[in-house]
Amino acid sequence: MVGVSETLERARKEFGERFGGSRPQISVFAPGRVNLIGEHTDYNGGFVLPMALPLTTVIVGSRRDDDKILIITTAHGADEPHTVEFKAPREEKPLVPGVPKWANYVKGVIQLYRAGPVPGFNAVIASSVPLGGGLSSSASLEVATYTFLQQLCADDGDAVQKALTCQKSEHTFAGVPCGIMDQFISVMGREGHALLIDCRSLEVTPLPLADPGMAILITNSNVCHELTGSEYPERRRQCEEAAKVLGKDTLRDVSFEDLEAMKERLSDTCYKRARHVITEIARTTYAAEALQRGDYKEFGRLMVKSHNSLRDDYEVSCPELDELVAIAIEVPGVYGSRMTGGGFGGCTVTLLETSAAERAKQHIQSRYRGSPTFYLTKASAGAGVITVQ
């Protein structure tokens, strides 16, 4: 797995080549994430259980003497052009979304930054988070951008507002009505812990995830997804419609008994979407309790049920993800597996005995029809400044 130091070196090398051999004054990082359980519950006010990853987005750069901003990305898979230049936003001339698409995630954070005015700067972005892999490459880019801006002109340091600002930028500049989970874990991640996040109150419960006998394997199907398509907004709209019919603000407030009692008032599709969300919120709280007591077998069972619900009720899986889960749970020592992220491609996450990790990778490699990429990973820290010696 590519670590922060390698990603930083790539960014610094590009910066030197593009800016006359100079060294960047600022270096920051923000992690991607894997969600262990609790999918499509965040924008319904429910619970999620993610952890930050050693896969990161790094931004290096320096202040300029004028108000121009020049940003280069080295991220594999980013749309062209890989260099953008524009003036720092001012009240009379705010930034607006445009092309390339990757730059909108950066522009949104610059426009909505909570301190300022933002000065001009040169910057290079490098990332080890796979684009379209369901590991929050977009949130890590947003949070890294915000962390970079904090070094240029400090804000009040409110971490929750930082995450909320990054979420708002994704809504308004990238057109993705995402929940708060991805930005929150990228800001708040804690080494050796998953975080149970209440997406309504934003309360966080750290859960230890450092047992040397247990491992987390991420398998990238290498089927890319793009959440700006119609599927994600459509799922959110269906959930909102179901909550409205059921007389509640969000599906977080609906019990399974309430749903069944009013089933006839919902379309079949909205009923299935609501059933997934309501049962997934319950599964996530049960899974957190299981993790707390070290009951990995129960946690794995809940992961598989989560995947089946995402496949059948929420309909956001795909044949490749279903295949990866089915293959993984065949391996002795695997507790459970599920798709992770928005769906329609990307990655699966598998909880397994550490001793079974290589066996699981070999089994998946031999059986999966595609070309998987593996990340044997651990829970890592949230965004921060990189001190360069």
Three-state secondary structure string covering the chain? CCCHHHHHHHHHHHHHHHCCCCCCCEEEEEEEEEEEECCCCHHHCCEEEEEEEEEEEEEEEEECCCCEEEEEECCCCCCCCCEEEEECCECCECCCCCCCHHHHHHHHHHHHCCCCCCCCEEEEEEECCCCCCCCCHHHHHHHHHHHHHHHHCCCCCCHHHHHHHHHHHHHHHHCCCCCCHHHHHHHHCCCCEEEEEECCCCCEEEEECCCCCEEEEEEECCCCCCCCCCHHHHHHHHHHHHHHHCCCCCHHHCCHHHHHHCHHHCCHHHHHHHHHHHHHHHHHHHHHHHHHCCCHHHHHHHHHHHHHHHHHCCCCCCHHHHHHHHHHCCCCCEEEEEEECCCCCCEEEEEEEHHHHHHHHHHHHHHCCCCCEEEEECCECCCEECCCC
Q: What are phi and psi of 288, to 5 degrees?
A: -60, -40
Residue positions annotated with a catalytic role: 182
